[in-house]
């Protein structure tokens, strides 16, 4: 049986062997990190060592890292706990950002993006002039569907001109592009462990020293009162190992980017009507969003699955209903193109032969359907 080829790193990255070892070690270490006895201090040490490593990944102070259950909770905590009188969110944010905004209980504004997928900074200024102050501007650093990287520093500077605070969802950027919290100028930054090869169910909120954060979860005052509840010690310890190794992954991005470029070059040379999303914008090196005209994304996903290749459709499924990608719609693509998109996301284990198989399977499907679509 052919070994399956995994190309869905943006959904979740394969867990690292070193992470599994650390999680196992942490689970064998008995103690509550809030206990003051020797056993408790041993467990606390695992948490604090992980905090140092995650701070290094984010380029922030160690004390500004708050652990939580993942990227969704992290974004909810910021959007609902920043004390903002209004929220301005980009049209291409992750669904959790929109959902959190609906529950924040304050006016929410959606700022448009241009055809390149980049936030319209003039529209942002207009919204900041009319939005109740202080506002929270929420713009992701790298998009999960397209890999497009936003100019977060420029956006943060605009937000601060109007006395607003800035949140950036860096879940998809970690391990793919360098992150420097201070250089980005953001007030909040959110991360997820499983996107960098750590355990699922762990994330982090990074807060600037002056940024308020009302607790989403109240209780015993853990995590400096920002996120109560006994810490997920094993998960956090594993996240720390993954964070450290994710920084090493940056050196591999040139190789991964070359694989992505070869895939895109081969399919466009074979099919002149293929649509590659985000070519004119800076992108994470591992992500390709490509539309095959006339073939629904979910059909393509099934075709690749039958060929032992795992990737994602550009559209999202919820309650059994297929929805057009809000990201591609916001960029101005028609439904026919958005519905025909897939996302290929490569990673540290992707090889040349994997990409060979991807190209072969893509061309095979295109050739089978091109005559029907063009007739």
Burial 174-208 (b: 16+ CB within 10 A, else e): bbbbebebeebbbbbbbbbbbbbbbbeebbbbbbb
How far apart CA 98 and CA 88 sit, in angstroms, is: 10
Catalytic residue annotation: 317
Strand partners, 136: 87, 165
How far apart CA 336 and CA 293 sit, in angstroms, is: 8
Beta strand residue intervals within the chain, DSSP E: 5-6, 65-68, 86-90, 108-111, 135-138, 165-169, 188-192, 203-207, 275-277, 287-291, 309-310, 312-313, 316-318, 321-323, 341-345
How far apart CA 353 and CA 367 sit, in angstroms, is: 21
How far apart CA 228 and CA 291 sit, in angstroms, is: 44
């Amino acid at each position: 049986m052919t070994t399956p080829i995994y190309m869905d790193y943006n959904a979740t990255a394969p867990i690292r062997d070193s992470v599994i070892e650390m999680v196992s070690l942490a689970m064998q270490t008995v103690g509550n990190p809030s206990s003051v006895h020797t056993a408790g201090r041993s467990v606390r040490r695992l948490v604090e060592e992980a905090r140092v490593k995650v701070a290094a990944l984010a380029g922030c102070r160690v004390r500004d890292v708050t652990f939580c259950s993942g990227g969704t909770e992290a974004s909810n905590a910021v959007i609902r706990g920043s004390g903002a009188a209004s929220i301005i969110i980009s049209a291409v944010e992750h669904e959790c950002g929109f959902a959190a905004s609906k529950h924040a209980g304050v006016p929410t504004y959606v700022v448009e993006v241009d055809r390149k997928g980049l936030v319209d900074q003039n529209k942002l200024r207009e919204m900041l002039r009319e939005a109740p102050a202080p506002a929270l501007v929420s713009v992701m650093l790298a998009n999960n569907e397209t890999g497009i990287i936003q100019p977060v520093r420029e956006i943060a500077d605009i937000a601060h001109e109007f006395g607003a605070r800035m949140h950036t969802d860096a879940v998809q950027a970690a391990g793919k592009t360098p992150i420097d919290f201070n250089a980005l100028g953001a007030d909040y930054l959110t991360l997820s462990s499983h996107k960098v090869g750590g355990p699922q169910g762990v994330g982090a909120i990074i807060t600037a020293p002056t940024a308020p954060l009302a607790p989403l979860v109240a209780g015993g005052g853990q995590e400096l009162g920002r996120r109560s509840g006994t810490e997920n010690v094993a998960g956090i310890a594993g996240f720390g190992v993954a964070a450290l190794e994710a920084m090493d992954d940056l050196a591999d991005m040139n190789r991964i980017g070359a694989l992505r470029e070869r895939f895109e070059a081969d399919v466009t040379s074979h099919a002149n009507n293929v649509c590659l999303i985000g070519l004119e914008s800076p992108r994470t090196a591992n992500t390709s969003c490509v539309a095959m005209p006339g073939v629904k994304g979910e059909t393509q996903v099934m075709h690749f699955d039958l060929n032992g290749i795992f990737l994602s459709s550009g559209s999202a499924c919820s309650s059994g209903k297929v929805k057009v990608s809000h990201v591609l719609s916001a960029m101005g693509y028609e439904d026919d193109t958005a519905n025909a998109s897939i996302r290929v996301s490569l990673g540290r284990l992707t090889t040349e032969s994997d990409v060979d198989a991807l190209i072969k399977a893509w061309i095979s499907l295109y050739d089978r359907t091109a005559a029907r679509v063009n007739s």
